[in-house]
Amino acid sequence: MEKSKKIGEFLLNYALYILLGAILVTVSIIRPNFIALNNILNIMKQASTKGILALGCAGIIVLGGTDLSIGRTLGLAAAITASLVQSVNYASRYYMNMTEQLPLIVPLLAAIAICVLISSINGFGVSKLHMHAFIITLGTQLIAYGANCIYIESQPSGSAQALSTFDRNFLDKAAGNLIIGTVRIPYVIIYFALLAILMWVIWNKTKLGKNMFAVGGNTEAAAVSGVNVTKTIMFVYILAGILYGIASFLEAARIQSVGANTGINYELDAISACVIGGVSFSGGVGTIQGVVIGAIILQAINYSLYFLGVNAYLQYIIRGLIIVLAVAIDVRKYLVKR
Amino acid sequence: MDIQNQYLLEMIDIDKTFPGVHALDRAQLRLRPGTIHSLMGENGAGKSTLMKCLFGIYKKDSGIVRIEGKEVNFTSPKHALDSGVAMVHQELNQVLHRNVMENVWLGRLPLKKYGLVDSKLMYKETQKVFNELEIHISPTAIIGTLSVSQRQMVEIAKAVSYGAKIMVLDEPTSSLTEKEVEHLFRIIRKLTMQGVGIIYISHRIDEILRISDDITVMRDGQWITTKPATELDNNELIRLMVNRDLTHRFPEKTNKPSGVMMSVSNLSGKYEPTFHDVSFTLRKGEVLGIAGLVGSRRTELLNTIFGVFTKESGEIKVNGEEINNSSPVVAIRNGFALITEERRATGLFPLMNIYFNTIIANIDRYGKLLLSKKKISNDTRKSIDNLKVKTPTAKTAIRSLSGGNQQKVIIGRWLLTSPEILLLDEPTRGIDVGAKFEIYQLIINLANDGKGIIMVSSEMPELLGICDRILVMSNGRLAGIVERGKDFGGIQGEQEHILKLAGTYI
């Protein structure tokens, strides 16, 4: 009885890792050539941008909220990035009077600024106006989408085509590879890893991180202990905005062409990665390791299904089922039985 | 010392109104340095509200607060803490998923270089405070895994660690055993020697008379008196608190218990924290009290009988037949009703009107597809009349009624289901004195009608005032049953025996 309880607990606690292992093992049995460094790097690369988004929105979920505006915010920020990194030799570039390539820090900061702005509006709505995060972010995602369409439409050429033809230097830095011998490691994986480490430190070693868990776990307790709840919430949202900005910058380089529909539904992947990674929607619980693994599992599933040549529509169904399963297992950990 | 600075803290003419309640009506409090000042009054007298106004949780409507002669106006708990006021809250405000030391240092985490939290220092400081106070709890234990009394001690240590000059303790002993209470008193006395002023709120009169220097009595949000503890005694305090003689505080006990209607044998709950192996009987027309400390699993017992919580083993027989209350729906069908402890959390639908709140437990009776408005308003009207609910109309949202009237609506809701056995969990919590009497009368009347009543209460006087027998729980087990008017030499003896039993298994 005791033993079976322990095994059950073990399975529950490590369900995520078991799931990840099971996916990889199954696919490699069906297609032994799946286990190749290249495939793994591909999965990691694809997981990276959405992983960075997930690192941002994980904090918001720990606070007991959610963020539906991620995708459209990324779209807007990516469009602004794109307009600022277009090659100056490109005839129908957005800024005609831009005759010299801007330093890359400019588009990066612009992307971060716009994401922080929208995130701050969300944070203000939640902390000061006491709106539910679901509602305020539902509103701001529409605002971001509208702004994105207007921005792209106001091209000097008069067309509303996707922004493309980027500066080589930008593509090299944001979407290039670190070459070690014969191995090419995409920079984006390194950026993701560095940001994950930074976020781990913030979550576990700083006042902001501890206060975030306190506010998410028991707002009343945090307040009577003298935690500035409003400030904590604002911090978490702004931090998320910074991460979204970085992700937008990298995503523009990855897709190389930014249109009105860039970023659509990205919030679903970011939120899925968080919940698969064990960030509880009831607030107060979650780890950065979990979020990283969640992002990788999500991408591993996508990639495996693609690799196996599964019908595209069937892929959606399988992905949906896996998310439901992962979360169903995960919530059992925190379920208070009585 | 000049007259201006005679007091560490002065609260003068504090007023606070909530929807439907005038919670504080020119309340007063004057605390001298280095003394223990007890704040007394029945539930709902406004003690906690007054303290929350001091601590910046509530914003007072009017009045003056002075600390060491200087007027202050705290707008947040942080503000109060920074100004040397610490508080142990009645409800344990803790972040359950985090560890002990993080909870202790929440809001003022120690930092080292680069803005990183200094966990080592935090551990050391926590250990230091715990050592000083002789508390044996690991600073890295997760709060949610501790017992209620351990959590209580952590909160006390946290308040001490602020090094405040004014410390408010709101019912710190509600889950502590006699031994732990002594421990707490040693801590408090040590603090007063250092000049700290303590505001102490408790329901236990003997405790208060023993430890206090001054006592302020409140009633219905008003200041009644402040006197040195040496000038007061048990009876005088009760008289001041309830404003009527002890003999008139409870209705006449006219119910006559007859044969056994329900027997519970070896009942255990399934999921910890829970209770084990509880057996007792309930007679027709009897009011059976359940006493015990907070955390003794009284609520779990009621909830398991009613099918809200899962039972592990044991059987319940009603009129000789075994029943299985697998869910509240089944329990209602079997003639049970439960009035829950947390009225706001699990009893009221606060934004809904009285119609809705009255019929919701009984909704099947009002039509198959569409509900009959006529039947609903008839029943609601009857319920309001029978229980003397004071409300402008039946369309009023229940949250704007006073606590007592809210509770009457909820009792009315359950009476509509025609129950035979009523389970009442702290039925008079947060209700003013007058309304309490009416609730007691109602309970006695129900017993007169042959219903069986089980009543959990943390207020000893009310258990002794209206119960026929009192079952005492201790740490999830049945510690004993006190038969009223037998063996223990009157009310005083019964009270002492109950307190002793409550600590049996801790």
- The number of beta carbons lying within 10 Å of the beta carbon of residue A334 is 13
- Across B300-393, the runs of DSSP E, i.e. the strands, are 311-318, 321-323, 336-339
Min Cα separation A105/chain B (Å): 24
Q: Tell me the CA distances in angstroms from B381 to A264, B89, B406, B418, one per residue in order.
A: 55, 40, 15, 17
* CB within 8 Å: A221 and B111: no
Cβ separation B107–A226 shorter than 8 A: yes
Rounded to a whole number of angstroms, the distance from the CA of A187 to the nearest CA of chain B is 27
**Residue A227 lies inside a defined structural domain of this protein:** yes
Contact between residue A221 and residue B95 where contact means Cβ atoms under 8 Å apart? yes
- The sheet with strand B278-283 has its strands ordered as B278-283, B260-269, B311-318, B321-323
* Domains in chain B: ranges and CATH: 3-244 (3.40.50.300), 245-335+419-506 (3.40.50.300), 344-416 (no CATH)
Nearest to A208 by CA among B230, B238, B336, B114: B114
In a domain, A109, yes or no: yes
Closest chain A residue to the Cα of B300, Cα to Cα: A338
> Residue B417 is encoded by which pair of tokens?
């289901």
The total of other beta-carbon atoms located within 10 Å of residue B385's CB is 10
Q: Do B116 and A206 touch (CB under 8 A)?
A: yes
For the purposes of burial, counting CB atoms within 10 Å of the CB of A101, is it exposed (0-12), middle (13-18) or buried (19 or more)? middle
Show the domain range for A185: 47-284
Question: Is residue A314 a part of any domain in this protein?
Answer: no
Q: From the list B97, B106, B309, which residue is nearest A222 (CB)?
A: B106
One digit per residue, the tens of pLDDT, for chain A of length 338 reads 466 777 877 777 777 778 778 878 888 898 888 888 888 899 999 999 999 999 999 999 999 999 999 999 999 999 999 999 999 888 888 898 888 889 999 999 999 999 999 999 999 999 999 999 999 999 999 999 999 999 999 988 878 889 989 999 999 999 999 998 888 899 999 999 999 999 999 999 999 999 999 999 999 899 988 899 999 999 999 999 999 999 999 999 999 999 999 999 999 999 999 988 889 888 899 999 999 999 998 898 888 888 888 998 998 898 888 778 877 877 777 776 77
Q: Are A241 and B120 in contact (CB under 8 A)?
A: no
What is the distance between the alpha carbons of residues A214 and A235, in angstroms, rounded to a whole number? 14
Q: Say if A37 falls within a structural domain.
A: no
* Residues of B within an 8 Å Cβ radius of A: 55, 57, 76-78, 81-82, 87, 89, 93-98, 102-103, 106-109, 111, 115-117, 119, 158, 269-271, 274, 300, 303, 308-310
| Cβ–Cβ gap A218/B111 under 8 Å | no
| Nearest-neighbour CA in chain A from B56: distance (Å) | 9
Pairing of strands B452-456, B469-474: unpaired
Query: What does DSSP assign to residue B345?
Result: I
Whether residue A299 lies inside any domain: the answer is: no
Tokens coding A72: 């459209």
Asked if the interface predicted TM-score (ipTM) of this complex is over 0.85, the answer is no
Looking at the 3D structure of chain A, how many domains does it have? 1
What digits encode the pLDDT tens for the residues B148-190? 888 989 999 999 999 899 999 998 887 787 788 889 999 999 9
Cα separation, B118 vs B124, in Å, equals 10
Q: Is residue A10 part of a domain?
A: no
Grouping H, G, I as helix, E, B as strand and the rest as coil, residue B251 is coil
* Chain B residues with beta carbon closer than 8 angstroms to that of A210: 98, 102, 106, 109, 117
Instruction: Kindly list the distances between the CA atom of residue B171 and the CA atoms of A113, B90, B439, in Å, as whole numbers in the listed order.
Output: 50, 6, 24
Determine, yes or no, domain membership for A250.
Answer: yes
> Which residues of chain A have a Cβ shorter than 8 Å from any chain B Cβ?
201, 205-207, 209-211, 213-214, 217-218, 220-228, 284-285, 337-338
Residue B95's φ and ψ, nearest 5 degrees, are: -90, 105
Per the domain annotation, does A99 fall within a domain?
Answer: yes
Sheet architecture: strand order including B21-31: B21-31, B9-18, B62-67, B70-72
CB contact (8 A) between residue B93 and residue A218: yes
Chain A residues touching B98 at Cβ < 8 A: 210, 213-214, 217
Kindly report the three-state secondary structure assignment for every residue of B111-125.
Answer: ECHHHEECHHHHHHH
Residue of B nearest to A226 (CA): B78
Report chain B residues whose CB lies below 8 A from the CB of A224. Answer: 55, 57, 77, 87, 89, 93
Neighboring chain A residues of B82 at a CB cutoff of 8 Å: 226
Distance between B92 CA and the closest CA of chain A, angstroms: 8
pLDDT tens sequence across B45-85: 888 899 999 999 999 999 999 999 999 999 999 999 999 99
Q: Measured between alpha carbons, how far is A174 from A178 in angstroms, rounded to an integer?
A: 11
Contact status, residue B143 vs residue B96, Cβ threshold 8 Å: yes
Distance from first CA to last CA of chain B, Å, rounded? 47
Q: What is the pTM of this model?
A: 0.83
Query: Does A206 contact B82 at a Cβ distance shorter than 8 Å?
Result: no
Distance from CA of B383 to the nearest CA of A (A): 33
SS3 labels along B427-466: CCCCCCHHHHHHHHHHHHHHHHCCCEEEEECCCHHHHHHH
